[in-house]
Amino acid sequence: MKSGGMLLRVRRELRRVADPRKAPMMQAYMKSAMPYHGVSAPLLRAACKRVFVDGDFKTRESWRRGVLELWRGAGYREERYAAIALCGEKRAAAFQTPAEMAMYEEMIVTGAWWDYVDTLAAWRVGGILQEYPAAMREKMLRWSVSPNMWKRRTSIICQLRFKKETDLELLYACIEPSLEAKEFFLRKAIGWALRQYAWTDAAEVRRYVRENGARLSGLSRREALKNI
């Protein structure tokens, strides 16, 4: 696939399956400045699968080039969703190392909205953290005090899928700088991360909420204890 071909093929396939009538509603729901084609999630996944099957992802460089071509060249939101889908391509599993964190950081910072950030945080950043805990632990601690809210959110929710493997010390350390934050997306992230861990250890989450109740926002407390 020639340079520039990935974006053109994805755009062509998305237009083929799109329902333009849905596009304004999707854009309004996501409060997006970028327009939508009007492609539902199942159709998007199928379209990506059809396009990616012929992609040349034998090397880290060719895969990364495809991701960034889609991300940077996107004119519609689904095209950035396709970039995120390509990040998780099975053939790219071996490329998921701390070396890719510069790319994921770019996507998180420039994406700057929950639909992009949450998927990247839980699946890509979290996956690298599981495989490379020493290097990634330090990076998440740095991100937890970043002036960029979305990097902070990522550090808090990157362990959502870890269950018993959750590094509680890291989770609490990443929550700490944002405990008294006013931003909705940080308060929500704190509650979400705690609620998720409560499925593994409800007593521990109760203890944490009790001991930090004066500093936790009402939203964070409610979210943390929702399923207990």
pLDDT tens, 28-60?
Answer: 999 999 999 999 999 999 999 999 999 989 999
Q: How high is the mean pLDDT of the chain?
A: 97
- Residue 56 has a pLDDT of 87
According to the 3-state scheme, what is the secondary structure of the chain? CCCCHHHHHHHHHHHHHCCCCCHHHHHHHHCCCCCCCCCCHHHHHHHHHHHHCCCCCCCHHHHHHHHHHHHHHCCCHHHHHHHHHHHCCHHHHHHCCHHHHHHHHHHHHHHCCHHHHHHHHHHHHHHHHHHCHHHHHHHHHHHCCCCCHHHHHHHHHCCCCCHHHCCHHHHHHHHHHHCCCCCHHHHHHHHHHHHHHHCCCHHHHHHHHHHCCCCCCHHHHHHHHCCC
Q: Domains in the chain and their CATH numbers? A: 1-95 (1.25.10.90), 97-228 (1.25.10.90)
Residue 3 has pLDDT above 70, yes or no: no
Residues 103-117: b if buried by 16+ CB within 10 A, e if exposed: bbbebbeebebbebb
Predicted confidence at residue 4, as pLDDT, reads 56
Contact 181, 200 (CB under 8 A): no
The per-residue pLDDT for range 59-89, each reduced to its tens digit, is 999 999 999 999 999 999 999 999 999 999 9
Beta-carbon contacts of 42 under 8 Å, excluding residues fewer than 6 positions away, are: none
